[in-house]
Amino acid sequence: MPRHVVSRAGGLRDDADGNDRVLLQQHRGRPHPNISAQSESRRLPSVLIIGVRKGGTRALLDAMALHPNVRAVRKEAHFFDLNYSK
């Protein structure tokens, strides 16, 4: 089964040839031009992606990070793992 990702235009494209994987890597880690490093470090997130392992949360994050107004943090917070006992 082919993997799909959201393209810049918002549609799904096949990842069989690897072109979309390159597109995702090009956008990874780029801050939005209107966000400064100082203001970014003091802001709380407006969205949290919560999911189980192997549940597609990384794919969702990569797809959302393609949008120019979305600033995605690359390191997982592990909030519930670290703050609540199982």
- Mean pLDDT computed over 53-58: 90
Q: Which residues are catalytic?
A: 54
Indicate whether 55 pLDDT > 90.
Answer: yes
Q: What is the pLDDT of residue 46?
A: 81
Residues 6+ apart with CB under 8 A from 14: 2, 3, 4, 20
Cβ 48 vs Cβ 9: under 8 Å: no
Binding residues for 3'-phosphoadenylyl sulfate are 54-58
For residue range 15-41, what is the model confidence (pLDDT) as tens digits? 445 444 444 444 445 555 555 555 555
Rounded-to-integer distance, Cα 86 and Cα 83, Å:
10
Give the mean pLDDT of 77-86.
78
